[in-house]
Amino acid sequence: MKILGLTGGIGMGKTTVARMLKQAGFPVFDSDAEVHRLQGPGGEAVQAVGHLIPSALIPGTDPGLRKHPSGASLSRTALRQAIMADPSLIRSLEKILHPMVFAARDRFLRRCRYRGVHWAVIDVPLLFETGTDRRCNRVAVVSAPHATQVRRIAQRRSMSRTEAARMIALQMPDCEKRRRADVVIRTGLSMADTRAQVRALIRQLRSDNTREKETQL
């Protein structure tokens, strides 16, 4: 089995590309979705992250509307505000979340191998930062012009463009991600253009499968 690493900065359109790959039949592990699950009601990371950033903890409730720790969750807005105020919190959060996400990713890959999947996709925002790219046979980076990225983040998260730019500055520069990529999918034009680039990538992946089968004959 081969692994395609899919990555890109916030607001680049990575979720859209991942959805297109999934629609084409490729199994996709969504790291962001796993983090949301871990931070959601009763999630495994809630108590540890809540201890680190108490302002982000949302107590759960039982049917009688009494506070119930097991159903607690985390406020993504409060987490974002805390990180913007103190970027050093990022490392502490990663120490809590990364082992949990990695374990879920490995379970996903084991299931894919058991099913005989040829290409599995892991959608990982911090692919290079965590060294996960070393596990991948190919890496695709989703990219868009800086102004487009800022506008998307500001609109989707109801924040100012200045705040959006500050969020981007906390991440690995897009130019560095593009430099390290095998394939760059640019999403700054139209949806049709993005779809055409994804189709080209899919043809490459399926062509690799065909050549591999021919070699084995």
- Contact criterion met (CB below 8 Å) for 151 and 66: no
User: 152 with 185, same domain?
Assistant: yes
Q: Is 77 annotated as a binding residue?
A: no
Q: Is 148 annotated as a binding residue?
A: no
From 92, 116, 140, the end of a domain falls on 116
Give the count of domains, the chain. Answer: 2
User: 198 with 151, same domain?
Assistant: yes
Q: Considering the domain boundaries, does residue 12 fall inside one? A: yes
- Structural domain for 134, as ranges: 1-27+118-217
Q: Is 60 annotated as a binding residue?
A: no
Q: Considering the domain boundaries, does residue 34 fall inside one? A: no
- Contact criterion met (CB below 8 Å) for 5 and 132: yes
User: 6 with 57, same domain?
Assistant: no
Q: Is 187 annotated as a binding residue?
A: no
- Ramachandran category for residue 206: left, alpha or beta (phi over 0 → left; psi -120 to 50 → alpha): alpha
The pLDDT of residue 205 is 94
Q: Considering the domain boundaries, does residue 43 fall inside one? A: yes
The pLDDT of residue 190 is 92
The pLDDT of residue 216 is 40
User: 59 with 91, same domain?
Assistant: yes
Tell me the C-alpha distance between 184 and 147, whole Å.
Answer: 18
Q: What are the Cα distances from residue 193, in Å, to 17, 23, 143, 185, 190?
A: 12, 17, 13, 10, 5
Backbone phi, psi, residue 44, to 5°? -65, -25
Q: Is 13 annotated as a binding residue?
A: yes
Regions of the chain short of the pLDDT cut 70: 61-70, 209-217
Tell me the C-alpha distance between 42 and 20, whole Å.
Answer: 31
Residue type, position 75, single letter: S
